[in-house]
Amino acid sequence: MRAVRYHEHGGPEVLSVEEVDRPEPGGHELLVRVEAAGINPVDTYFREGSYEPYELPLAPGSDFAGVVEEAGDWTPGFEAGDRVFGTGLGKDHQGTYAEYALVPTDRVARLPDGVGFAVGGGAGIPAVTAWRALIDHAGLEPAETCLIHGGSGGVGHAAVQLAAAAGAEVVTTASPEYHDELEGLGADVVLDYADDDLEESIAEYEPSVILDHRLDEYLDFDAAVAAQGARVVGIGNTVPEAGWENVPAARAKELRVQLMSMFNTPDLSARLEQLARLMGRGDLGIHVAESYSLDRADEAQRAVMEDSFLGKLVIEP
């Protein structure tokens, strides 16, 4: 089978497409024919060595959607031919930039009929992260006001939809070119993150839940706009030591600040099943901005870190 792999850490140029043996599933594994694999910033962190992968050479990629080619002996509920999606590879297992991937059954769920593979392939990290942040950690409730920084990003646009489905008033920030689309996804208020009066505009809404993708830079901002006792969840590659000069302001409002990583989710399959139900009834979708072949994986990883787009990039082997 064909797979993208890297043998050493470095830039996108270390990625190469290679012919490797197709793996055989163990007892609790599925062999999935990958139809789409999401491209995430975390893929580049493992490649460049900021995060340490479990072995090299490694195929990158956490997210996938495809069809079960072969099921192990202890995989109740799954059989060959099932449409599935999932996440959590590319760290302690070989990843998903490949024609086939071995997937433990605790990291996979059925993909609903009518949901395309590209949508399912891009859903994993963004949707699970948004769920963990808003529901598990922040405990978002109906009628609360939720601020989502960077609503056009992968996590951001999933979080906008989840918050709207939960009955919250959704305030988000993005470049003006994405405002109409984010309103279509359920945002009640979309503001230009470059506005000079952004802090004053958001403060009027007094958000009680804030999802922040750059908490190292924006804790002071969050403290200024948040309601008393607000819950702030920080995702992404944050550096808590940087940019927290105004911690007294956060303390004065008794903000609850939670840092998180999707890879710590205790039961990925349960979260994926919940997300599948939302996707199946049309309450959650993943906007695919562009699709790449395996041969263009290096370009896809460059684009995910440098380009502006709404939603997700995917590889379709």
Q: The domain containing residue 144 runs over which residues?
A: 126-262
Q: Is 231 inside a domain boundary?
A: yes
**Same domain flag for 205 and 310:** no
**Same domain flag for 111 and 195:** no
Q: Is 270 inside a domain boundary?
A: no
Residue 230 pLDDT: 96
Residue 69 dihedral angles phi and psi, to the nearest 5°: -85, -40
**Same domain flag for 148 and 256:** yes
Encoding tokens for residue 203? 């403060």
Provide the CATH number for the domain around residue 250. 3.40.50.720
**Same domain flag for 113 and 153:** no
**Euclidean distance between CA atoms 71 and 105, whole angstroms:** 10
| Domain count across the chain | 2
The whole-model pTM stands at 0.94
**Same domain flag for 256 and 133:** yes
**Same domain flag for 258 and 297:** no
Q: Is 272 inside a domain boundary?
A: no
Residue 39 pLDDT: 98
Encoding tokens for residue 167? 């009955």
Provide the CATH number for the domain around residue 32. 3.90.180.10
Q: Is 269 inside a domain boundary?
A: no
Q: Is 274 inside a domain boundary?
A: no
- Count of Cβ atoms closer than 10 Å to residue 141 Cβ: 13
**Same domain flag for 132 and 258:** yes
Residue 11 pLDDT: 96
Per-residue pLDDT of the chain (317 residues; tens, 9 = 90+): 999 999 999 999 999 999 999 999 989 999 999 999 999 999 999 999 988 888 899 999 999 999 999 998 888 889 999 999 999 999 889 999 999 999 999 999 999 999 999 999 999 999 999 999 999 999 999 999 999 999 999 999 999 999 999 999 999 999 999 999 999 999 999 999 899 999 999 999 999 999 998 887 888 899 999 999 999 999 975 555 555 555 666 777 888 999 899 999 988 999 999 999 999 999 999 999 999 999 999 999 999 999 999 999 999 99
Residues 83, 67 contacting (CB under 8 angstroms): yes
